C-alpha cells in the first residue's frame, strides 16, 4: 500500500527549521520511500493533500504510565508522596479486563490526537501476570500507536519519604507500608515475557524498568542491567524526582550519590534514560553525560507534584541527551507534548534573567530525535528520512496558532496546542484522519468508559477515605525534608 503526501511543508533533518519548503513524501508500507518535489504517485496510492500543512515526525513521549489514565483531573495541590498514595496501582488492586483495556486506550488515544506516535509505557502490572500484560498490549495493538513497553518492578515497598515520617501509629504504618518483593521472581517474570512475546507484534517494543534505584535491591538492579545487556534493551527508571529522593540517596548510598549507585550496579549506560533528574548535582550530570546515558524531562509532572525545575540548560551544556515525557495522567492531566515542549523552554527562565540557551529547536529535538534515541529506535523513528518508519503528523497551518506563519519550529513549541493536529500516521497507516481516530469508534469507546467508571468511582471514594488518615504524617515529612534542604543540611 502506497500513500503520497503532496505539497506539505516538511521538517527535514538538516533543513530549514523555520520556513521549510513544500515537497512530497511517498510512503510504501510502513516506511518512507521517497522525498522530493513533484513525486509521481503509484497507481494504487492514496493521496493526502498537504497544501497549507506542516509535516513533522511523530512525537515521542519517553515517559508515561498508563495505569492511572482514568484519574485525570482528580488531584490538585498534592506533594508527590501524597499523590502516590492515591494513584499507584498497588493501592487499587486488580482491575477488570474492561477497565484495563479502557484505560490503556484512553491515554494512547489522547496521545495520538496530540501527535504523539510513540509512548514509553512504564507499567506496574497488578497483578503481575500474563493476562494483565496481554490485555494491555492487545489494546495498544488494536489502536495502532507505537509503544515501548516496560514492566515496572520494585522489591522495596517503602514510600520514598518513609525515612522522614514522624512517629506514626500502627494504623498509619499499615497504610503507607507494604511487603518486600522477591527480586528473583520479578526478574524471572520479566525474562519469561521477553521470551514468550518475541518478537512482539508490529509497533510494540520492549524496554526495562526498575521503578527507582531506591525502590530496588542491588540484586534487582543488577538483574535488570544483565537483561538490558543481554537483549540490548533500553532502561527507564525514576531518578531524583523529589526532595525526599535526594535526602534518601544522601542517607543510603555510600558517598550519597544515586548516580554513582546506578553506575556501580551496571545501569549507567548509553541504553539508560533517567526520568526527571530534578535534584541531580552538577558532578552527577557530568557523569551521566560521560556514560552516554540520558534524561527524560517531565516538566508538567515536576511542577504539578511540587518537585521543582530540572536543570535543563545544564544538561544541554554538559551534552546530556534529552527526551521529553508527559508522565501520568493523574499528575499532568494530559498527554500533550506541546505543553511539555513549551514549558521546557519557559522554565529555563524561572530563576535566571539571562539567555539560557534552551531553544524551541532543543525542545522539538527532545520530543523527536531525543525520544527516539531514548526508546532505542534512533535509526527507525524521530525524523523524516527515506528508509525510516512512516510515523508522521500533519499540522493545519490555517489554524490561528499559525497565522501569520513565521517559524515552523517556534510555532510548534510556543503556539501549537494540539488543536492543529489533523492527520497522524503510524507505521504507514493513517490512525487519525481530519481529527478523528480511525481504529476506534470514539462514541462506542465513551460508552464503554462510562460503564467502567461506575466501579472506578466507587473504589475511588473508598480509597480516598482509606488513605486520608496518613496524609498529615506525609505532609509533615514533606515539610521537614524541604525545610532541612532549604537550610542546606540535606535532611
Ligand atoms: Zn514516572
Find the 437 Cα to ligand 1 centroid distance in Å: 27
Find the 121 Cα to ligand 1 centroid distance in Å: 9
CB-based contact 181:491 (threshold 8 Å): no
Find the 339 Cα to ligand 1 centroid distance in Å: 17
- In terms of DSSP bridges, do strands 146-153 and 46-49 run parallel, antiparallel, or are they unpaired? unpaired
Read off φ and ψ for residue 21, nearest 5 degrees.
Answer: -75, 160
Hey, what's the cell of 59?
512525537
Find the 328 Cα to ligand 1 centroid distance in Å: 7
- Among residues 31, 139, 124, the alpha carbon closest in space to that of 328 is found at 124
pLDDT for res 489: 64
Q: What is the secondary structure of 156-173 as a DSSP string?
A: --S-TTGGG--S--HHHH
Find the 275 Cα to ligand 1 centroid distance in Å: 7
- What's the mean per-residue pLDDT of the chain? 96
pLDDT for res 350: 78
State the average pLDDT over residues 373-381. Answer: 98
CB-based contact 155:183 (threshold 8 Å): yes
Find the 237 Cα to ligand 1 centroid distance in Å: 8
Find the 299 Cα to ligand 1 centroid distance in Å: 12
Find the 123 Cα to ligand 1 centroid distance in Å: 9
* pLDDT tens digits, 272-283: 999 999 999 999
Q: How far apart are CA 336 and CA 112, in angstroms?
A: 9
Q: What is the value of pTM for the model shown?
A: 0.97
Q: How confident is the model at residue 158 (pLDDT cuts 50, 70, 90)?
A: confident
Peptide bond just before 127 cis, omega within 30 deg: yes
pLDDT exceeds 80 at position 355 = yes
Find the 295 Cα to ligand 1 centroid distance in Å: 12
Q: How far apart are CA 168 and CA 26, in angstroms?
A: 64
pLDDT for res 348: 85
Find the 226 Cα to ligand 1 centroid distance in Å: 22
Find the 204 Cα to ligand 1 centroid distance in Å: 20
pLDDT for res 461: 98
Beta-carbon contacts of 183 under 8 Å, excluding residues fewer than 6 positions away, are: 155, 216, 217, 219, 220, 223
Q: How confident is the model at residue 424 (pLDDT cuts 50, 70, 90)?
A: very high
Find the 236 Cα to ligand 1 centroid distance in Å: 9
pLDDT exceeds 80 at position 346 = yes
3 state SS of 339: helix
pLDDT exceeds 90 at position 14 = yes
State the average pLDDT over residues 450-469. Answer: 98
pLDDT for res 412: 98
Q: How far apart are CA 477 and CA 164, in angstroms?
A: 5
Q: How far apart are CA 422 and CA 113, in angstroms?
A: 8
Find the 212 Cα to ligand 1 centroid distance in Å: 9
State the average pLDDT over residues 463-483. Answer: 96
Percent of the chain with pLDDT over 90: 95
Read off φ and ψ for residue 61, nearest 5 degrees.
Answer: -95, 110
Find the 3 Cα to ligand 1 centroid distance in Å: 36
**DSSP at 367:** I
pLDDT exceeds 70 at position 491 = no
pLDDT exceeds 60 at position 490 = no
CA 441 from centre of chain: 25
* pLDDT tens digits, 49-72: 999 999 999 999 999 999 999 999
Q: What is the secondary structure of 430-468 as a DSSP string?
A: EEEETTEESSS-HHHHHHHHHHHHHHHHHHHHHHHHHHG
Find the 51 Cα to ligand 1 centroid distance in Å: 39
Peptide bond just before 199 cis, omega within 30 deg: yes
pLDDT for res 178: 85
Find the 243 Cα to ligand 1 centroid distance in Å: 15
* pLDDT tens digits, 202-219: 999 999 999 999 999 999
* pLDDT tens digits, 295-340: 999 999 999 999 999 999 999 999 999 999 999 999 999 999 999 9
- Among residues 453, 474, 366, the alpha carbon closest in space to that of 95 is found at 453
Amino acid at each position: 500500500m502506497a500513500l503520497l503526501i503532496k505539497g506539505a511543508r516538511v521538517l527535514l533533518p538538516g533543513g530549514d527549521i523555520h520556513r521549510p519548503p513544500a515537497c512530497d513524501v511517498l510512503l510504501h508500507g510502513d516506511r518512507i520511500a521517497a522525498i522530493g518535489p513533484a513525486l509521481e504517485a503509484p497507481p494504487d496510492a492514496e493521496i493526502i493533500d498537504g497544501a497549507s500543512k506542516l509535516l513533522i515526525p511523530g512525537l515521542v513521549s519517553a515517559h508515561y504510565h498508563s495505569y492511572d489514565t482514568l484519574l485525570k483531573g482528580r488531584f490538585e495541590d498534592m506533594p508527590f508522596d501524597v499523590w502516590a498514595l492515591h494513584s499507584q496501582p498497588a493501592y487499587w488492586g486488580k482491575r477488570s479486563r474492561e477497565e484495563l483495556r479502557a484505560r490503556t486506550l484512553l491515554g494512547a488515544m489522547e496521545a495520538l490526537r496530540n501527535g504523539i506516535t510513540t509512548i514509553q509505557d512504564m507499567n506496574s502490572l497488578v497483578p503481575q501476570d500474563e493476562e494483565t500484560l496481554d490485555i494491555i498490549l492487545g489494546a495498544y495493538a488494536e489502536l495502532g500507536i507505537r509503544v515501548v513497553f516496560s514492566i515496572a518492578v520494585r522489591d522495596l515497598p517503602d514510600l520514598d519519604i518513609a525515612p522522614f515520617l514522624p512517629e506514626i501509629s500502627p494504623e498509619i504504618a499499615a497504610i503507607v507500608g507494604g511487603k518486600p518483593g522477591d527480586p528473583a521472581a520479578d526478574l524471572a517474570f520479566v525474562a519469561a515475557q521477553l521470551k514468550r512475546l518475541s518478537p512482539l507484534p508490529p509497533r510494540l517494543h520492549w524496554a526495562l524498568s526498575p521503578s527507582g534505584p531506591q525502590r530496588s535491591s542491588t540484586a534487582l538492579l543488577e538483574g535488570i542491567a544483565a537483561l538490558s545487556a543481554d537483549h540490548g534493551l533500553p532502561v527507564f527508571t525514576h531518578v531524583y524526582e523529589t526532595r525526599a529522593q535526594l535526602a534518601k540517596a544522601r542517607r543510603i548510598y555510600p558517598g550519597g550519590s544515586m548516580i554513582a549507585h546506578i553506575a556501580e550496579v551496571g545501569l549507567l549506560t548509553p541504553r539508560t534514560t533517567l526520568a526527571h533528574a530534578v535534584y541531580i548535582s552538577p558532578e552527577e550530570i557530568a557523569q551521566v553525560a560521560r556514560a552516554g546515558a540520558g534524561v527524560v524531562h517531565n516538566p508538567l509532572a515536576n511542577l504539578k507534584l511540587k518537585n521543582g525545575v530540572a536543570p535543563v540548560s545544564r544538561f544541554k551544556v554538559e551534552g546530556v541527551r534529552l527526551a521529553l515525557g508527559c508522565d501520568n495522567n493523574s499528575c499532568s492531566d494530559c498527554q500533550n507534548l506541546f505543553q511539555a515542549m513549551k514549558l521546557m523552554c519557559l522554565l529555563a527562565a524561572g530563576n535566571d534573567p539571562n539567555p539560557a540557551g534552551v531553544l524551541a529547536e532543543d525542545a522539538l529535538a527532545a520530543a523527536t530525535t531525543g525520544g527516539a534515541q531514548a526508546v532505542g529506535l534512533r535509526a527507525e523513528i524521530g525524523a523524516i528520512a527515506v528508509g525510516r518508519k512512516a510515523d508522521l503528523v500533519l499540522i493545519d497551518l490555517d489554524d490561528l496558532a499559525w497565522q501569520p506563519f513565521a517559524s515552523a519550529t517556534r510555532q510548534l513549541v510556543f503556539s501549537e496546542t494540539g488543536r492543529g493536529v489533523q492527520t497522524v500516521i503510524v507505521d504507514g497507516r493513517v490512525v487519525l484522519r481530519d481529527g478523528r481516530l480511525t481504529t476506534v469508534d470514539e462514541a462506542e469507546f465513551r460508552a464503554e468508559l462510562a460503564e467502567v467508571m461506575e466501579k472506578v468511582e466507587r473504589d475511588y471514594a473508598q480509597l480516598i477515605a482509606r488513605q486520608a488518615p496518613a496524609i498529615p504524617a506525609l505532609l509533615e515529612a514533606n515539610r521537614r525534608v524541604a525545610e532541612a534542604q532549604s537550610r542546606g543540611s540535606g535532611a
